[in-house]
Structure 1
Amino acid sequence: MDELLYMEINIRKFGENLQEISKVSRKDLIPVIKSSAYGMGDIEIARKIEELGINLVAVVDLAEALRLAQEGFNFEILILNGIRESEYKYLDRYSKLVVSVNTLEEAKRLVNYSFYRTIKVHMQIDTGMNRLGFTDFWDYYEALRQIVFTKGFILEGIYTHFTDPENLKTQLERFEPYLKQYPYRIIHTSASSTYPLSDFGTHLRIGADLYAQQVGNLKQIIKIACKPLVINKIKKGESVGYDRAFKAERDELIAVLPIGYSNGYRRSLSGFPVLANNKQYPTVGKVCMNHLFVRVDREVNLDTEFVITSEELPVGMIAKYLRTVPHEILCMFKINNIRYLK
């Protein structure tokens, strides 16, 4: 069935983005595939990651980690939020899970549970985000001491998360004393086009830039498009949509597209253009739950493809219009018909 509304994910471009960032940074990467890979589909994205031989990915919670672990991927899965005591049993079942330790209390609970079990951990340090991670050095030191002297633990890595580029130097200075306490094999920080690719650390933890950041040779991998349901002839003086928000000043052609705020196309995008026949057409009226109105011309018909976002109408452009960040735009779309190009 050829559905009118679809989202296309280019897996080949995703792989090229990974390789480009690795080449430029000269570091191993830790792809972040949380929130179903920013809405792109975690399983399909993970298959490409495994194909490229990457050894570690990051997700936000245990539920996301289990989805990947149950697929039998060869890479390890870092759980950024850490896990609750009631969830420790999954560490016995899935050897690829890696736990983020964020507090001394978490470390103590894991130590009490371990009893010669093999548990892989990364220590998270809060250097200014005030979200997750150790903020007190001596709490960290005690947690480190208990983990190091407990048999079964594999202390693999340590990491932090940057708040903004202006605060980068300060955060790195706060991070460095923690690094000196143990010879970590993996030292990673968040990375994006916002932050310089410095020589700091052994790995880069990278998220949204893999999917929709058109900087340098990086490519947007997502395209959302649809075909019109109808093309209505509107007479001068007639209105379109709720609250008669658009009133025709002349006879108009209005295409009704099968996308609305239930699909993540926000009402605040009223007036933002869509792309068809290599040119932009303005949306008009108020965005409905399942429909969008577009002022068109006679070049458009029911077989015309309207692009909501693509490399030619990028996510970054939508983000700028809404005064937000591309990450949020990626996560807001909810399209049932997803096609993967490999």
Structure 2
Amino acid sequence: MKPSTHRPTKAVINLQAIQENIKQFKKHVAKETEIWAVVKANAYGHGADSVSESIDTLVSGFCVSNLDEAIELRSHGVIKPILILSGIVPEDIHIAVNLRLIVTVPSLDWFKLVAQHLEDVEVEHFNFHIKVDSGMGRIGVTTIAEANAIIALADEIGANFNGIFTHFATADEPSQDKFLDQKEQFDTIVAGLTRRPTYVHSSNSAAGIWHKETVQDIERLGDVMYGLNPSGRVLEMPYKITQALSLISELTHVKEIAAGDSVGYGAEFVADKPTLIGTVPIGYADGWTRNMKGFDVLVNGKRSPIVGRVSMDQITIALDKRYPIGTKVTLIGCDGDEEITVDDVAAYRGTINYEVVCLLSDRVKRSYHDVSET
């Protein structure tokens, strides 16, 4: 889907904020470790190509979810290491190796399948990290024996074992019991390897923030890089971060309805008095989900409630006075003394800030600035 460039709805990305968030994290950790930026899911909705280009000098590598995301980065000139965090289709191993990508080995069975598809592969450039399932329950090895069997097979076929990692399930929660259990299991498997690889890593944003003593050779920096607290509002950030994304649009229609008139599908909103209604071109097809009915947006520094159901392409809001067509509407960000944060939206939806930004669809144009737009 192409961005709707002729529509006033856009996500404004402050690249300078992302850069500064990386620098602040480095100061927080205060140790020598490589930062690998997690730019999966279109850089958490911020735009993978532009974000990667803007932070290239600040990081040592990048992490993505799948092969296609890695191909996109390479096609846009990223030459630094790229780790694909999930297992790829075994038959596609030649693509990953030819592009000098680092693949994740999630199991011995998967690796055996890959070994059957190496006829057109320059195996000397086949680099991989073993994923350990220390308690997340998705993918990864669970025993020392399986990890060492993968290493043995790699030696047999000539592939390069240069990393091992895990992912914590509860690093952003107050209780440390599960976190410590996972850490112990991961450390035990690493200690039992026939040899240590170049990279041992377990820290996502949350672990790096609240368990910085566990940061090893690589920090996989994701949510916090974009100025978002990985715990939402559960744990307080130990240092300052700046939210990088704003979501803005404009009024495209303004009218007054009479008492008793309805607005939107299902006629759920019925005015109890003469009401000024503004229409804004954003809807659930853009990632502004239907459950945002009743939430506020900002117009002229004031809060205006969303009335009626959120449609696929438009929302309607109640205005305090008649504004001209083209008046700015802020859905996420600052306007005057008022602010709506990603966490505000997440709390209203009953979800997490990750989901809010990742749901912004491709038809929402991304606009990039080095300073915050007001």
Q: TM-score range by the shorter chain?
A: over 0.9
What does residue 144 of structure 2 align with?
A: 137
Distance in 2 of aligned mates of 1:197 and 1:25: 9
SS in 1 for 2:340: coil
What does residue 183 of structure 1 align with?
A: 196
SS in 2 for 1:117: helix
Which deviates the most, 301-310 or 312-321? 301-310
Distance in 2 of aligned mates of 1:222 and 1:5: 13
Q: Deviations over 1:21-49 (max 9, x none)?
A: 12212332221111111121111111022
TM-superposed CA distance for 1:205, in Å, is 1.1
Q: Name the aligned partner's letter for residue 146 of structure 1.
A: L
- Cα distance, 1:321–1:69 mapped onto 2, change above 3 Å: same
What does residue 102 of structure 1 align with?
A: 106
- Cα distance, 1:302–1:175 mapped onto 2, change above 3 Å: same
Q: Deviations over 1:194-249 (max 9, x none)?
A: 76132222221122222241543111111111111111111122111122211111
Distance in 2 of aligned mates of 1:70 and 1:2: 26
- Cα distance, 1:262–1:91 mapped onto 2, change above 3 Å: closer
What does residue 64 of structure 1 align with?
A: 69
SS in 1 for 2:254: strand
TM-superposed CA distance for 1:106, in Å, is 2.7
Q: Name the aligned partner's letter for residue 73 of structure 2.
A: L
- Cα distance, 1:116–1:304 mapped onto 2, change above 3 Å: closer
TM-superposed CA distance for 1:110, in Å, is 4.3
- Cα distance, 1:151–1:291 mapped onto 2, change above 3 Å: closer
TM-superposed CA distance for 1:116, in Å, is 4.9
Share of identical aligned residues, percent? 27
Q: Deviations over 1:77-113 (max 9, x none)?
A: 1011122221122144212x00111101233344563
1:317 paired with 2:328, answer no
Q: Name the aligned partner's letter for residue 360 of structure 2.
A: F
- Cα distance, 1:9–1:137 mapped onto 2, change above 3 Å: same
- Cα distance, 1:191–1:91 mapped onto 2, change above 3 Å: closer
**Cα pair 1:212 1:316 within 8 Å, conserved:** no
**Cα pair 1:25 1:197 within 8 Å, conserved:** no
SS in 1 for 2:213: coil
Distance in 1 of aligned mates of 2:114 and 2:27: 37
Q: Name the aligned partner's letter for residue 175 of structure 1.
A: F
Matches within 5 A, 1:1-342: 3-26=7-30, 27-52=33-58, 54-95=59-100, 97-111=101-115, 113=118, 116-147=123-154, 149-150=155-156, 152-165=158-171, 166=175, 167-180=178-191, 181=193, 182-193=195-206, 196-200=210-214, 201-213=216-228, 215=237, 216-298=239-321, 300-310=323-333, 312-334=339-361, 335-342=363-370
- Cα distance, 1:190–1:310 mapped onto 2, change above 3 Å: farther
Distance in 2 of aligned mates of 1:140 and 1:196: 28
Q: Name the aligned partner's letter for residue 259 of structure 2.
A: K
Distance in 1 of aligned mates of 2:348 and 2:285: 19
C-alpha RMSD of matched pairs (Å): 2.0
- Cα distance, 1:252–1:91 mapped onto 2, change above 3 Å: closer
SS in 1 for 2:327: coil
Aligned residues: 339
**Cα pair 2:163 2:200 within 8 Å, conserved:** yes
Distance in 2 of aligned mates of 1:92 and 1:131: 24
Which deviates the most, 262-271 or 150-159? 150-159
